[in-house]
Amino acid sequence: MKRLLNAAILTIAAIASSQNANSQEAFPSRAITIILPFGPGSGSDIAARLVGQKLSEALRQPVLIDYKQGATGSIAAEYVAKSKPDGYTILLGTNSSHGANPGLFKNLRYDPIKDFIPINRLVINTSIVVAGREAKFKTMQELLAHGKTNELTLATGNTTGIVQGETLAGQVGWKKIIRIPFRANPPALTEVLAGRVDFMFSDIASAFPFVSSGQLRALAVTSKQRSKVMPNLPSLEELGVKDYDISGWISLFAPANTPPAVVEKLNVELTKILQMPDVVARFEALGGETGPMTLPEIAKWVQGEVSTWTRLVKEAGIQPE
């Protein structure tokens, strides 16, 4: 009898262990939601939809997009930081949420390092300087000169644009720029299109349709090298702004304490996706460069980006709010 009882106990334990293992191996067994810090039509939105579709196909589960805009990515980041760490709610983070925000906010309600596990880096985005067709300046050289004797209004849809604008103003000695903040690049572009704001820094993906149609004038790129998508645009360094090279990036993050096996699976699948020729070509057409990393690589890289962007915020003279 005792042997039978022991055998039954061992059988039950084996079944429970097997069920537990199967439940862990089953990830994902339902939809994954990517939380976006910026709105529809933004570069982040385009990247999330492109990668999300491929990830859905690879994992055979829906990948949903949910927008939580505001505070240069802080609202979305805080939401994911407090979400259940199971891999089903992940953040599309940027150099705003996981770079500059620690230097922009005195009381940031999340820690970009301690509260997250970086999953993979998706893309590095070159930005362009754009102005309305009726602006007083037609070239970047004219804008650089105009700002030395006139106040300029700058539309900003994210932290990248804020840092790019303030850094440029400080380096070239502009008289004054007045920042007009928006929750994302698309509504900021609307104001530049209407001529109510002088200019802005935008990701190529958001601005390209308006530049192509002639509604906006592209003046320069913010990367050190010219863009493959818009090779006729000079870099700011070419125009005499020494060592100016500020580009944004997009990565995916999971809440801290997400099971390592889940994070590893997402990292591996995303690396495969980011090496697909059609994905690489699509990102390049949008002015971006894919850059998948291993988990140790991206963890180290994000730590460096927080340090770099905090320094850029300080050097630009931007006071924390």
**Cα–Cα distance list, 155 to 97, 101, 178, 192, 212 (Å):** 19, 18, 9, 7, 20
d(CA 315, CA 170): 9
Fold type of domain 29-125+248-315:
D-Maltodextrin-Binding Protein; domain 2 (3.40.190)
What does the pLDDT read at residue 21?
46
Q: What is the pLDDT along the chain (321 residues), one digit of tens a residue?
A: 445 444 444 444 445 544 544 445 689 999 999 999 998 988 899 999 999 999 999 999 999 999 999 888 999 999 999 999 999 999 999 999 999 999 889 899 999 999 999 999 999 998 999 999 999 999 999 999 999 999 999 999 888 999 999 999 999 999 999 999 998 899 999 999 999 999 999 999 899 999 999 999 999 999 998 998 899 999 999 999 999 999 999 999 999 999 999 999 999 999 999 999 999 999 998 889 998 999 999 999 999 999 999 999 998 888 888
Read off the DSSP letter of residue 133.
Answer: T
Read off the DSSP letter of residue 293.
Answer: -
> 45-52 — which CB contacts under 8 Å span 24+ positions?
46/205, 46/286, 47/92, 47/122, 47/123, 47/205, 47/250, 47/283, 47/288, 48/92, 50/279, 50/282, 50/283, 51/122, 51/252, 51/270, 51/273, 51/274, 51/279
What does the pLDDT read at residue 319?
84
What does the pLDDT read at residue 92?
98
What does the pLDDT read at residue 25?
60
Structure tokens at 56: 């859905």
What does the pLDDT read at residue 183?
86
What does the pLDDT read at residue 318?
86
CATH 3.40.190.10 in the chain is located at 127-221
Helix (H, G, I), strand (E, B) or coil at 105: coil
What does the pLDDT read at residue 18?
47
Tens digits of residue pLDDT in 266-282: 999 999 999 999 999 99
d(CA 321, CA 319): 6
Amino acid at 23: S
Read off the DSSP letter of residue 231.
Answer: T
Q: What is the pTM of this model?
A: 0.84
Among residues 170, 181, 179, 162, the alpha carbon closest in space to that of 144 is found at 170
Tens digits of residue pLDDT in 107-143: 999 999 999 999 999 999 989 999 999 999 999 999 9
CATH 3.40.190.150 in the chain is located at 29-125+248-315
What does the pLDDT read at residue 24?
53
Tens digits of residue pLDDT in 91-102: 999 999 999 999
d(CA 171, CA 153): 17
Read off the DSSP letter of residue 253.
Answer: E
Q: Strand 151-156 vs strand 127-132: parallel, antiparallel, or unpaired?
A: unpaired
Fold type of domain 127-221:
D-Maltodextrin-Binding Protein; domain 2 (3.40.190)
What does the pLDDT read at residue 321?
82
- Residues 306, 112: contact at Cβ < 8 Å? yes
